[in-house]
């Protein structure tokens, strides 16, 4: 009979493509894990992995098996979490993913409140780009994620808690009105985040800019872009929630509201349809809404 432990071992190998590293992740010896995988393959009647001393390859049937195994693993995790529903809300383990254009501005507002109001909560936070977080939530590696919409959620549910518009920022010596239309932005001066950041796509959509156009600079963080603007290297657009941190605190930068139909992006908590702790999501949504409203 195939055990959940064997499924977990197989998924660990698939993730690492390395038996020793997978064994370390599972806190067992490499021989224990290897024997368990061999026994699993004997029960299945086909090889899940082709392995040599140098590499591990997932077989065609192995891919199908691992897809089913991941679904079973997620269901098992949800079963174990059923007991959490009987506990106090936000009183057990919770893993949250958050994108870089939200994390630095939302987390300082909400983490102190979470710590004070829910002292039993054990929180794990991972910052990554939207594509990675959607995969991790779907795969059960994260409980929830905080993303900016619109974005392809691939079957996940969203609970919106905030919406905002963009501000165009320039060096203090440049002429700038209180509001600006997209047609008045000089694209040759415009600097955006690099590919993979959903904010880049949201800015392009709000300004109706062709994604094939080249920009003067692409960076990996809003802080980097703001420092370039402060040194008169170009201009950029930032979301409202970042204005207080990276614009209002820098005397070399001034801002102008992007006067285009909005909201330019919406923030949401993303969960699997099967996620059992719906009360936690509701409480987090309310907390996020309150803190953002109080600090806006």
- Contact assessment for residue 257 and residue 167, using Cβ atoms and an 8 Å cutoff: yes
- How far is the C-alpha of 162 from the C-alpha of 28, rounded, in Å? 44
pLDDT for 284: 96
- CA separation (Å) from 118 to 99, 122, 123, 185, 289? 23, 9, 10, 46, 17
Average pLDDT of span 284-295: 94
pLDDT (0 to 100) of residue 223 = 92
Q: Which residue has the tokens 């201009």?
A: 235
User: What pLDDT, on a 0 to 100 scale, did the predictor assign at position 49?
Assistant: 93
User: pLDDT tens-digit profile of 71-91?
Assistant: 888 877 776 666 655 567 888
Q: Which domains are present in the chain? A: 4-82 (1.10.10.10), 87-159+265-294 (3.40.190.10), 166-258 (3.40.190.10)
Work out the burial of residue 260: count CB atoms within 10 Å of its CB; fewer than 13 is exposed, 13-18 middle, 19 or more buried: middle
Cβ–Cβ contacts within 10 Å for residue 46, how many? 12
How many CA atoms lie within 13 Å of 201's alpha carbon, on the beta-carbon side?
A: 12
| 293 close to 165: Cβ distance less than 8 angstroms | no
List of residues 6+ apart from 76 with CB closer than 8 A: 4
Read off the pLDDT band of 152 (50, 70, 90): very high
What pLDDT, in 10s, does the model give residues 184-201? 999 889 999 988 889 999
C-alpha 77/C-alpha 92 separation (Å) is 14
Exposure string over 115-154, b if 16+ CB within 10 A, otherwise e = eeebeebeeeeebbbbebbbebbbebbbbbbbbbbebebe
User: Does this model's pTM top 0.85?
Assistant: no
Closest CA to 95 of 267, 268, 273, 277: 277
pLDDT in tens, 230-245: 999 999 999 999 999 9
Give Cα 177 distance to the centre of its chain: 34
Check pLDDT > 80 for residue 38: yes
Q: Coil, strand, or helix at residue 186? A: coil
SS3 138: helix
Over the stretch 85-142, which tens digit does the pLDDT of each residue have?
A: 556 788 888 999 999 999 999 999 999 999 999 998 999 999 999 999 999 999 888 9
pLDDT at 42 over 80: yes
pLDDT at 82: 64
pLDDT range class, residue 54, cuts 50, 70, 90? confident
């Amino acid at each position: 009979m195939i055990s959940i432990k064997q499924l977990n071992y197989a998924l660990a190998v698939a993730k690492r493509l390395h038996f020793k590293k997978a064994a370390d992740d599972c806190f067992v010896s490499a021989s224990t894990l290897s024997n368990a995988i061999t026994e699993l393959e004997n029960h299945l009647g086909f090889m899940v992995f082709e392995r040599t001393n140098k590499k591990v390859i997932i077989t065609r049937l192995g891919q199908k098996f691992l897809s089913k195994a991941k679904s079973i693993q997620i269901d098992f995790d949800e079963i174990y979490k059923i007991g959490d529903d009987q506990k106090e809300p936000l009183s057990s383990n919770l893993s949250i993913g958050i994108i870089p254009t939200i994390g630095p501005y939302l987390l300082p507002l909400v983490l102190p409140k979470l710590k004070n109001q829910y002292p039993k909560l054990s929180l794990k936070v991972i910052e990554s780009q939207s594509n990675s977080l959607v995969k991790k939530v779907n795969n059960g590696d994260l409980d929830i994620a905080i993303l900016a919409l619109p974005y392809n959620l691939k079957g996940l549910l969203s609970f919106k808690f905030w919406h905002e518009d963009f501000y165009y920022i320039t060096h203090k010596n440049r002429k700038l009105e209180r509001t600006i239309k997209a047609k008045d932005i000089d694209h040759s001066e415009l600097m955006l985040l690099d590919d993979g950041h959903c904010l880049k796509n949201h800015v392009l959509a709000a300004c109706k800019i062709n994604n094939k156009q080249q920009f003067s600079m692409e960076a990996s963080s809003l802080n980097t872009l703001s420092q370039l603007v402060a040194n008169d290297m170009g201009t950029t657009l930032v979301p409202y929630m970042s204005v207080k941190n990276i614009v209002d605190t820098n005397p070399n930068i001034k801002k102008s509201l992007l006067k285009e139909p909005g909201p330019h992006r919406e923030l949401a908590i993303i969960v699997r349809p099967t996620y059992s702790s719906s009360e936690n999501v509701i409480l987090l949504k309310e907390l996020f809404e309150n803190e953002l409203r109080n600090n806006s």
